[in-house]
Amino acid sequence: MVEDNQPNRELLCDWLESQGFEAVYAANLEQSYAAVETDLAHAVLLDVQLGREDGLSLARWIRNRKGMYIPVIAVTAHAMDADHQRVIQAGCDACLSKPVDFKALREQLELWLNHPATSRAVHK
């Protein structure tokens, strides 16, 4: 999970762990690149706006890596249709608005973690 806001990060981590997921977090882009490189992430929850940093650059970076498929689910306060379209065009698989609807998040995680491309993922 990439989230710069500590209360949001704690809420999402606590929820993920209560659902049986192991949560690893990064608070900024630099940490997120390192986390994706070193941890065998099964999915990334991505805050689109990380302070002054554009979280979507991580999605583009993941999509440009050969041999790696990791589902990226954007979580954003920007709820307009155009914002969601921009998120998908950047390489995210799904986009959820804040405040997070945990039922919808669970559905997206189940969908993408069981997606055929995910099972064929090759991690470097």
- Please indicate, yes or no, if residue 110 is contained in any of the structural domains: yes
68, HSE (Cβ side, Cα atoms, 13 Å): 22
Q: How confident is the model at residue 29 (pLDDT cuts 50, 70, 90)?
A: very high
- Please indicate, yes or no, if residue 123 is contained in any of the structural domains: no
- Please indicate, yes or no, if residue 97 is contained in any of the structural domains: yes
- Please indicate, yes or no, if residue 44 is contained in any of the structural domains: yes
The CA distance from 107 to 113, in Å, is 10
Q: Whole-model pTM?
A: 0.88
Domains in the chain, number: 1
CATH of the domain at 81: 3.40.50.2300
Q: Which residues pair with 36 in a beta bridge?
A: none
pLDDT reading at 71 higher than 70: yes
- Please indicate, yes or no, if residue 124 is contained in any of the structural domains: no
Domain assignment of residue 11, given as a range: 6-118
- Please indicate, yes or no, if residue 113 is contained in any of the structural domains: yes
Residues of the chain above pLDDT 70, percent:
94
Is beta strand 44-47 parallel, antiparallel or unpaired with respect to 49-50? unpaired
Q: How confident is the model at residue 51 (pLDDT cuts 50, 70, 90)?
A: confident
Mean pLDDT of the chain: 88
